[in-house]
Structure 1
């Protein structure tokens, strides 16, 4: 979707404040939301209650229609650091693209990122900052525990499913090379200066993994600070054994999201994991022919979208504009220049 098609409006909530210079606002939290007001309220309360508190909180409202905009407007009295960006729903990738661009334009040294269904535990930000500086990490994440059972990880990490076992694998408080973007993840400014913004045309499902791989390819360092906790609903994606498990598992997803998943995986495989291309083709072909009982329509859809991703072909309404990585101008200031997303 082009810039002209996705108008954004900024509601600073604190226009009387002087504009920050780059190093006067070292930490900016960003939250993306879409029609989950109850979750957003809990998330923002947890962020606002951190010690230290972020210098600014940027909320990108991705076209909510559940009263989110009205509620956010009422928070100015209690959250003077709040800045709201409203735009059309262009997916979580599009929302994060806007959020990161806005935070960079405001001069963030560190950007703290979360979805609206994440809840940072007390002290999480302080621990992330401490470990990030101590170990010179570029991307530092918390231990993401399941809201349903905080003894479990919300996402499997390096083969671990239990929080205690994962923490035991830490080296001086950090599990290097393990991170689950963007669930309470803290990112340095230099990450974006080095590799650009998120690939927003991915829309959903895969944008965070692509960004992780891009950062690692560029030599940026990531890890999890195991004593910083972030609560998130358990990963609900379904893994189905293929041919009785002989060929491993495949990931099932709602049909309305399958095109995004296949296209994004095609791009990721072509760009970072070329050895995975043949395996992906074989596994999903067998899945649609055997498990879905000769689902020709589904198989055709897989091939169409996966091949498009391999060729980096995205629908026109999801394409990033030539200035997609340029931060959003706020308070009348011109945007700075940052590398474009790949």
Structure 2
């Protein structure tokens, strides 16, 4: 589906928007995020909250929201990836024109949705700032899957290129996304499928953006669509712990699936070797065990799994 600059499908009517929120044990943050959705100048048509088996008072928070067109999906804790997969599938099955993905620790400015739907592009992101108003948008301006010498494909970010929101042009093309304020049109899902639930956490959003760009879509950061992060970024995780396994494995999967040449697809093996060889100097064998397990698992994930394939 293509739209028009005033946010109408083919000029025939108002595009519908489904918001997909994934949450787990962060009821108070979720409440603030839902307050932000309820205050939108352009109201969402439905808000799908995927609750990944919260054990706090999340059900009470959701049960009290009579001010939003809420649809609650409760499931086992399948991670952010499993939650967004389920939510996007529900929004797609509901026939919505645009799907707006949201984490539970961000709050959209009142005109955020209005600003997004005014842009006639298939893939958009709202631009994040922190509680002080500082620009903290980590979407990559360059996500390099061509250079085998680049350890990490994210080469530059929006907040690394622009000192503040005011210095940005109205639209900035980006090459990866976070599922915090990412908006996608229905026909993109029809073409490329759903977020990959097997990732559990990390890189599911980056992998989805790669698929969209490979299908000919461009992804745009909308300067005036403001999303406020309630927590500081914490991108330094224990690589010897359980999160480290997913960080390594899913990074490897992105390279194995989407590397643009044989050397890039070889890079996960080289990283694995380097981590194993350096493990005595890095403080132990746990990270080496993690990276070996991650490489073994990634080899079996080179093909997009059936649940993530385009709908039939």
- TM-score, structure 1 as length reference: 0.74
Q: Does the alignment pair 1:146 with 2:118? A: no
Residue in 1 aligned with 2:106? 118
Structure 2: 5+ residue stretches without partners: 1-12, 142-155
**Within 1, Cα distance between the matches of 2:43 and 2:267?**
46
Q: Does the alignment pair 1:49 with 2:49? A: no
| Structure 1 segment 107-186 matched on structure 2, within 5 A | 107-131=95-119, 133=120, 137-147=121-131, 149-155=132-138, 157-158=140-141, 159=156, 160-161=158-159, 164-165=163-164, 168-170=167-169, 173-186=170-183
Q: 1:298 is paired with a residue of what secondary structure? A: helix
Q: Could you say if the C-alpha distance between residues 225 and 113 of structure 1 is closer, same or farther in structure 2, counting changes exceeding 3 Å?
A: same
**Within 2, Cα distance between the matches of 1:282 and 1:190?**
38
Q: Deviations over 1:245-297 (max 9, x none)?
A: xxxxxx85461112222221221111112543444444454445436527344
Q: Could you say if the C-alpha distance between residues 271 and 124 of structure 1 is closer, same or farther in structure 2, counting changes exceeding 3 Å?
A: same
Residue in 1 aligned with 2:61? 71
Q: 2:19 aligns with which of 29, 40, 50?
A: 29
1:123 is displaced (CA, Å) by: 0.5
Runs of 4+ in structure 1 deviating by more than 6 angstroms, as ranges, are none
Contact 2:19/2:48 (CA < 8 Å) preserved in 1? yes
Contact 2:268/2:295 (CA < 8 Å) preserved in 1? no
Q: 2:289 aligns with which of 281, 300, 303?
A: 300
Structure 1: 5+ residue stretches without partners: 1-22, 239-250, 327-337
Q: Does the alignment pair 1:194 with 2:184? A: no
Superposed CA RMSD in Å reads 2.7
1:29 is displaced (CA, Å) by: 1.0
- TM-score, structure 2 as length reference: 0.80
Q: Could you say if the C-alpha distance between residues 165 and 310 of structure 1 is closer, same or farther in structure 2, counting changes exceeding 3 Å?
A: farther
Q: Deviations over 1:97-126 (max 9, x none)?
A: 111111111111011110001111121111
**Within 1, Cα distance between the matches of 2:72 and 2:49?**
5
Residue in 2 aligned with 1:85? 73
